[in-house]
Amino acid sequence: MPVSGIMWVNSDVIKPTHLSRQDFDAWYCEEHIHSVVAKSGVRSAHRYDHIIDGLSTARRLRFLTIYEMPDIGFMETEEFRGLEGQSPGPNREKIFENAEFDTRSYELVQVDESESSKNTGESKTTSCGHVVNLKQRTSADLALHSDIPLI
């Protein structure tokens, strides 16, 4: 039975002398995110830039992208593994060796829709989830420097 969830990806440039933030953003926003959402198992993607204000502290990895998946098990499919980042591709040297990606998977375990959203039709949904224990992969499996799936 499919279990809906999200893939949560923190990312940022870690070698700015080899990859500019502008080139990273251009690749991520104009190429990568579109190729991920084009896959059959990814419903949507939202990319955020961390802000430093009085409430939050600096983060090592500046960006957060959340990919919504009707079935979080999609991450184990050949289609998903064919994405650049899961297997070697033309941007490996330029992007994946000069940026870092911290990827986590969460399955949906609770939805709490407010009464006001039911009356007004305005969407106000709170979701609570936990990390999905997907099969561990080594960096050799991905030809990258992580033991979890990257995207």
pLDDT in tens, 83-113: 877 666 777 778 988 999 999 999 988 877 7
Q: What is the pLDDT of residue 8?
A: 94
For 108, phi then psi, to 5°, come to -75, 125
Q: How far apart are CA 21 and CA 62, in angstroms?
A: 11
Going by pLDDT thresholds of 50, 70 and 90, the confidence category of residue 117 is low
Predicted confidence at residue 43, as pLDDT, reads: 95
Q: Which helix (H) or strand (E) holds 116?
A: helix 115-120
Q: Of 92, 101, 23, which Cα lies nearest the Cα of 62? A: 101
pLDDT at 130 over 80: no
pLDDT, position 66: 96
**Which range, of 26-30, 33-37, 130-134, averages the lowest pLDDT?**
130-134
Shortest CA distance to 47 belongs to which of 19, 8, 75, 20?
8
For residue 87, the cross-strand partners are 84
Mean pLDDT rounded to a whole number for the chain: 77
DSSP string covering 41-93: T--EEEEEE----SS----SS-EEEEEEES-GGGGGSHHHHTSBTTB--TTII
Calculate the CA dihedral of residues 34, 85, 48, 38 and round it to 10 degrees: 20
Q: Which domains does the chain have, with CATH numbers?
A: 5-142 (3.30.70.100)
- Of the two residues 55 and 100, the one the predictor is more confident about is 100
Eight-class DSSP state of 1? -
Q: Can you tell me the distance from the alpha carbon of 27 to that of 29, in angstroms, rounded to the nearest whole number?
A: 6
Q: Cα-atom radius of gyration of the chain, to the nearest Å?
A: 17
Closest CA to 89 of 142, 22, 138, 13: 142
pLDDT in tens, 2-27: 889 999 999 999 999 999 999 999 99
